[in-house]
Homo-oligomer: A and B are copies of this chain.
Amino acid sequence: MRFDAPLQLKSGATLADYELVYETYGQLNAARSNAVLVCHALNASHHVAGTHAGVDRSEGWWDNLIGPGKPLDTDHFFVIGVNNLGSCFGSTGPTHPHPDPAKGGQAWGADFPVVTVEDWVDAQARLLDTLGITTLAAVLGGSLGGMQALSWTLRHPARVGECIAVATAPNLSAQNIAFNEVARRAIITDPDFHGGHYRAHGVLPKRGLRVARMIGHITYLSDDSMEEKFGRQMRAAELGYSTQDIEFQIESYLRYQGDKFSEYFDANTYLLITRALDYFDPALAFGGDLSAAFAAARGKRFLVISFTTDWRFAPARSREIVKALVDNRIDVSYAEIAAPHGHDAFLLEDPRYHGVLRATFERIAAELAG
């Protein structure tokens, strides 16, 4: 969907016009009260559920959660997945042509403005306006998506019923920023990066993207799940004693993940999205006081979910959110799920996790019905 009204960004820049691609699942009810917005994380898109027709038949990234009869039941809810600005999956981003005619149709590249969680939320709100939706039954997201869900309750508190924030944090820790920064350095120092204008040079900084993805991937998995899945399994019966060839299965797996990612993901998008993660910090304007930040969200209802083995956004970070809400006497439920899969658990089908979400959405559906 095309938006022609300029969007003022948190950085001070303005996006004159832009396109947002989105998908919906289920039917909007007559009262327009059953909409659930699903916010995506780093490597995801508007394609949240269902299976696309066509050659790739790609499955939505949260298809195990969302659909008819699933925990977020599209027989009851109108679910919206929207691709964020700066992405490489359809909405306006650095791979799209720069609007300045002087650029001769070249891609935005590194000139695409820095976007923040707040900018995404504002753009999502405009999409809802266009769809005729004033109030969301719920906003839901995991990881960076959870930050957007939290931000909704601060930017547009009157428009959100329930906020469901999964495997997320009130801001990145120094270690989180450090991992992002190493990934960015790998991309930016790739000689094919060309200051972010690699498309104008007819190349892609795939080396950097591969390394970035490998680093990210390590932080998505728990130490234990990596140990259980790969341990010290060797690729061959005997060690080959090589510094450059693959010796262990974990190496093979990581290289594969890196290679695959570098084929489809845009490097500037990677920089933008990791920066959006770095910048998210609702407490900053309140001198670091998260409780003060959430005072504006008063009256909302929250569900916060974390996973015991998630060391990227550990349960302690979710508990900070819960504490800030409790400090404001805001209705919050908190589920800390014992799951072995680390940060990735939020994308997986864990019966306790999905049970909590199913019960929550059943309650919301019952409240909507009457």
Contact = CB atoms under 8 A, between A and B. Distances in A.
Interface string A101-134: 0000000001001100000000000000000000
Contacts of A255: 181, 185
Nearest to A181: B251
A231 B174 contact: yes
Nearest to A113: B241
A296 interface: no
Interface string A163-206: 00000000111110111011011101111000110000000000
A12 B241 contact: yes
A178 B211 contact: no
Interface stretch (A16-24, A242-250, A353-361): A242-250
A178 B242 contact: no
Interface stretch (A37-45, A73-81, A272-280): A272-280
Interface string A247-283: 1101100110010000000001001101100110100
Given A186-B211, A189-B211, A177 B268 contact: no
A214 interface: yes
Contacts of A175: 218, 221, 223, 226-227
A254 B182 contact: yes
Interface in A1-49: 10-13
Interface in A293-321: 311
Query: How many subunits of this chain does the assembly comprise?
Result: 2
B174 A230 contact: yes
A171 B211 contact: no
Nearest to A251: B181
B184 A243 contact: yes
A323 interface: no
Interface in A326-340: none
A57 interface: no
B191 A191 contact: yes
A194 to B, nearest CB: 12
A20 B110 CA distance: 49
A341 interface: no
Contact of A174 (B179, B229, B241, B272): B229
Contact of A177 (B13, B181, B221, B250): B250
A343 interface: no
Interface of A: 10-13, 110, 113-114, 171-175, 177-179, 181-182, 184-186, 188-191, 195-196, 207, 210-211, 214-215, 218, 221, 223, 226-227, 229-232, 239, 241-244, 247-248, 250-251, 254-255, 258, 268, 271-272, 274-275, 278-279, 281, 284, 311
19 contacts: A114-B241, A114-B242, A173-B223, A174-B248, A175-B227, A177-B248, A178-B214, A178-B251, A181-B251, A181-B255, A185-B255, A185-B258, A186-B186, A188-B244, A196-B244, A232-B284, A239-B279, A242-B275, A247-B279
Given A11-B241, A173-B226, A174-B226, 16 more contacts: A113-B241, A114-B241, A114-B243, A175-B227, A177-B248, A178-B250, A179-B218, A184-B243, A191-B191, A195-B244, A196-B243, A239-B279, A243-B271, A244-B271, A247-B278, A248-B278
